[in-house]
């Protein structure tokens, strides 16, 4: 039983979304610390709280957010993300200083 629980726990850890890894595809536009204005249009995301980022990601995915024309581009970026991915990414972005 202990072995089964250990395997289950390890599997859950391996499947957990890694915000840092997810952020690697954001770096080109947003910068390593979220300091860039993406394509000169968006605001820098450094200092954003996780809930603000999560709301924005969900809105982009739903196609209801088009901040300065970035909606279609961002929708493509988050299309494959599930809720756990978006939450992990938002939490990671909140740590950027």
Domains of the chain: 19-93 (1.10.760.10)
* Residue 28, pLDDT above cutoff 50: yes
Instruction: Dump pLDDT digits (tens) for 39-69.
Output: 999 999 999 999 999 999 999 999 999 989 9
Are 38 and 26 in contact by the 8 Å Cβ rule? The answer is no
Instruction: Dump pLDDT digits (tens) for 71-82.
Output: 999 999 999 999
Confidence of residue 87 (pLDDT cuts 50, 70, 90): very high
- At 21, list the tokens: 């890894």
Mean pLDDT of 9-34: 80
For residue 47, the 8-state DSSP code is T
Q: Considering only CA atoms, which of 1, 2, 48 is closest in space to residue 26?
A: 48
pLDDT at 67: 87
Mean pLDDT of 86-94: 98
Cα torsion 64, 26, 92, 47: sign: negative
Which stretches does DSSP call E strand in 1-97?
Answer: none
Q: pTM of the full predicted structure?
A: 0.82
Region of 49 on the Ramachandran plot (φ > 0 left; ψ -120 to 50 alpha; else beta): beta
Q: How far apart are CA 68 and CA 89, in angstroms?
A: 22
């Amino acid at each position: 039983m202990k072995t089964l629980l250990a395997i289950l726990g390890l599997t859950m850890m391996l499947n957990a979304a890694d915000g840092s890894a997810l952020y690697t595809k954001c770096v080109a536009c947003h910068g390593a610390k979220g300091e860039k204005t993406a394509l000169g249009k968006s605001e820098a995301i450094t200092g954003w709280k996780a809930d603000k980022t999560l709301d924005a990601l969900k809105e982009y995915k739903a196609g209801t957010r088009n901040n300065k024309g970035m909606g279609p581009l961002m929708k493509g970026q988050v299309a494959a993300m599930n809720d756990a991915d978006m939450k992990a990414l938002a939490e990671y972005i909140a740590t950027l200083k």
